[in-house]
Amino acid sequence: MATIIAGIGSSHVPAIGAALDNGKTEEPYWKRVFSGFEKSQEWMRATKPDVAIIVYNDHASAFSVEMIPTFALGCAAEFPPADEGWGPRPVPVVKGHPALASHIAQSVILDEFDLTICNKMEVDHGMTVPMNLLFGKIDKNGHWPCPVVPLAVNVVMYPPPTGHRCYMLGKAIRKAVESYPDNLRVVIFGTGGLSHQISGPRAGLINSKWDKNFLDNLSKNPKKLAQIPHIDYMREAGAEGIEMVMWLIMRGALDDKVDEVYRFYTVPASNTAVGHIILENHRRRGKSGGKAKHTAIKYKRAAARAKPTIIQG
Ligand code: DHB
Ligand code: FE
């Protein structure tokens, strides 16, 4: 069976992509951001997932404002980078995993989560920036290290799905993954956020207290987060802070109790705070039904489990 071994939360600030693409990673402003992902890239190299499910949002790049699915699952063989106004980012085409994606679609739709199936889709910074942050910079002639099942969530036009709906969808995705016959080791990303507001009188709003509380509860008490209504995100985290509900899909796909192995938080990057967390499922069952050995990480495992690395830039 396939297994979700870990969840990753990451911001997707588009200016991070621009800094990478324009060779600005060594500038102090950006070095502060990128240095927070060095350990994560080390973790990713050690973990070597077979597939990543990436929960992200499209910013009117693939769908436009004429038609916006609430949840759209990418079932295609590949997903080219979208032109967001400056030409497509110089990153590789994202390879899909149509067999796993179709299996997830069948399982969650029969579980009454009505996803839109996308057999052709371009992906914007919402997906490619977190991929760069976790997999490192890869130019367009290279390859991303693993195939991806993209799940696009509407957080750009009212009404987005509730945090609770997202959390429950995560659980349905986990069930789907665990009923897939092949032995795949899967990681799931929740992306976007953290607190930010791009326009209007409150443009520039960042609420670090809210962000840190969100990260704490994501790790220890996600059910509490799943009850937060939209209006609280708007009020406390800004209009674009609603992107954070996507992290609850990732969290719903994990065990109730997880090991937080890494966290990073820095302010600001462009108009937002950059937040990042890695949560591991520690009890995994192999094909035999017995306790599976932890596959991934020699990555300072015991120490990391006892005390997550928390870096604040
Ligand atoms: C910014 C952040 C976003 O999440 C986004 O989609 C666009 C812009 C920003 O911080 O500038
Ligand atoms: Fe965004």
How far is ligand 1, taken at its centre, from the CA of residue 108, in Å?
Answer: 30
| Shortest-distance Cα residue to atom 2 of ligand 1 | 13
Pick the catalytic residue from 12, 97, 103, 125: 125
Task: Identify which has the larger pLDDT, 309 or 139.
Answer: 139
- How far does the centroid of ligand 1 lie from the alpha carbon of residue 75, in Å? 26
Annotated active-site residue 196? The verdict is yes
Question: Above 70 in pLDDT, residue 57?
Answer: yes
Pocket test for ligand 1, best of 89, 198, 245, 276 (most atoms within 8 A of CB): 198
pLDDT category, 287, cuts 50, 70, 90? Answer: very low
Ligand 1 pocket mutation, candidates 59, 196, 244, criterion most atoms within 8 A of CB? 196
Report the percentage of the chain scoring pLDDT > 70: 90
Rounded mean pLDDT of 212-223? 98
Contact status, residue 191 vs residue 54, Cβ threshold 8 Å = yes
| pLDDT at residue 303, rounded to an integer | 38
Degrees (nearest 5) of the Cα angle 147, 14, 73?
A: 35
Per-residue pLDDT reduced to its tens digit, 83-134 = 999 999 999 999 999 999 999 999 999 999 999 999 999 999 999 999 999 9
- Does residue 230 carry a catalytic annotation? no
For residue 1, how far is its CA from the centre of ligand 2 (angstroms)? 34
Task: Return the pLDDT at 309.
Answer: 57
Q: pTM of the prediction?
A: 0.93
pLDDT band at 286 (very low <50, low <70, confident <90, very high): very low
pLDDT band at 230 (very low <50, low <70, confident <90, very high): very high
Residue with tokens 């077979």: 50
Which residues have CB under 6 Å of ligand 1?
12-15, 59, 196, 198, 240, 270-272
Quick one: pLDDT band at residue 292, thresholds 50, 70, 90? very low
Of the listed ligands, the closest to the CA of 155 is 2
Ligand closest in space to the Cα of 197? 1
Q: Tell me if 163 sits within 8 A of 227, measured CB to CB.
A: yes
pLDDT of 270 higher than 50? yes
